[in-house]
Structures are given as structure tokens and as C-alpha cells.
A and B are shown apart, each in its own frame.
Chain A
Amino acid sequence: NAGVTQTPKFQVLKTGQSMTLQCAQDMNHEYMSWYRQDPGMGLRLIHYSVGAGITDQGEVPNGYNVSRSTTEDFPLRLLSAAPSQTSVYFCASSNDRASGNTIYFGEGSWLTVV
């Protein structure tokens, strides 16, 4: 019963480097998303996907790319890391687009950009 799995849990990048945060869910959920969590700001939506092959931008998409080739996987790519992208990243999924549905979160990826 894995739920939403994210890797890596911790990562340090140098400014300008690129990397991919991996996310997989085993609940056959239609919806997947990426949030970033910063102190005093709650969670902010970066990108989301309503199904395989369909993605859209959230509140803070700049500097990030996503793709959804399968129902299970939703990787987040940092194209050229900047110190402002130092944050905790959460992947999440939900089994329906209805806004009242529960969102299931991964355990988080702590990213530091130096």
C-alpha cells in the first residue's frame, strides 16, 4: 500500500543545474499535481495533470516542466535551478476532478539550491 512515492527525499543542487523529481502513485488516480511548500506560505500549486498526456500550469509554474506519459508517473523537472527554488516539494494525487475529493500527498522532497 505505497500510495504516493517521491524520490529523492533530499537533494542539493548548484545554481544552473537541472534535475528531475520523481513521483509515482499506485492508486490509479486520475489527478496528479506538484506543490511547493515554503515557510508561512502554505502549499502552492506548480503544475497538475488531469490524466495521461494532459498537463496544465498552477500558481507558480515558472522554472518547472512536467509530463504525464502514464497514469502512475508524474515527474517534475527543474530546468536550471535557482536559489529561489529551494523548497520542499510535494507530489499529490486524487481519484477524481471533483474539488471535494481528498488529496493524497507523498512524503516530500527537500531541495536546496546553492
Chain B
Amino acid sequence: AQSVTQLDSQVPVFEEAPVELRCNYSSSVSVYLFWYVQYPNQGLQLLLKYLSGSTLVKGINGFEAEFNKSQTSFHLRKPSVHISDTAEYFCAVSDSRTKTSYDKVIFGPGTSLSVIP
């Protein structure tokens, strides 16, 4: 079974500063990894995902994440944040071995990013 840890429940950062949101996962098998973003009073939407290939994944709105298999991490980064990046960010993991794992997408508890003007 997989699990996801997001070590920071809240991350305040000043506008135009860089940010890193940390995600670590636990799994005994190969995985797919995701970052979803939830803007206030909205549903979640996909920010980026790692399925295979290059370990550096670029997503929407200037975000990127790097898959580190040895450290079982998938940290999300942005070099310069904007006020509009204020949102809840969820890391998620799923088993990549099988085609029937839809129900096994495991979400982390979320990190609340607050961008300060």
C-alpha cells in the first residue's frame, strides 16, 4: 500500500519569492505521482504528474516537480510566486503496475500556500 506525507501543513511566502512544497511517499512498488491544486472554494485540478521518463516534470502556472526515487520524494517548486498562487496543494500517489488502480490514488493531507503581498 502507498502513503503520502506532506510535511508542511502551511507555507507562507512573500510575493516573488521562491517556494518549495515537500512531498514524500511510501511504496514498495513503482508509482505514478501527482500534484493537484485547489483554489479557494473550488475543486482540485491537476498541476502536473510524473508517469515515466524525465524526473523533472513541468506543469501549469510555472510550477515544476522533481521525482527522486532514492529519497522517495516529489517536491513541488516555483522560482517566483504570485498572489494568485495562494491555494491548497495536494500530492498524490498511485500504483503504476496495474491498469485497475483508479481507486488506489492516495492523496496527501495538503499544504496551504499563502502568498503575502
Question: What residues on A are CB-neighbors of B95 within 8 Å?
Answer: 99
Question: What residues on A are CB-neighbors of B107 within 8 Å?
Answer: 35, 42-44
State how many residues of chain A have any CB contact under 8 Å with chain B: 29
Chain B nearest CB: distance from A43 CB in Å? 4
Mark B98-109 against chain A: 1 for CB-CB distance below 8 A, else 0. Answer: 111111110111
Contact residues of B between 28 and 53, Cβ < 8 Å to A = 32, 36, 41-46, 49, 51
B94 sits at the interface (CB 8 A): yes
Chain B nearest CB: distance from A89 CB in Å? 11
Question: What residues on B are CB-neighbors of A97 within 8 Å?
Answer: 99-102
State how many residues of chain B have any CB contact under 8 Å with chain A: 28
Contact among A33, A42, A98, A102 with B90 in the assembled complex (CB-CB below 8 Å): A42
Report yes or no: B43 in contact with A107, Cβ–Cβ below 8 A: yes
Chain B nearest CB: distance from A95 CB in Å? 11
Question: What residues on B are CB-neighbors of A75 within 8 Å?
Answer: none
Chain B residues near A (Cβ < 8 Å):
4, 9, 32, 36, 41-46, 49, 51, 90, 94-96, 98-105, 107-110
* A–B complex contacts, Cβ < 8 Å, 6 sampled: A41-B109, A97-B102, A102-B49, A103-B105, A106-B43, A107-B43
Chain A residues near B (Cβ < 8 Å):
4, 31, 33, 35, 40-45, 48, 50, 56, 58, 90, 92, 94, 97-108
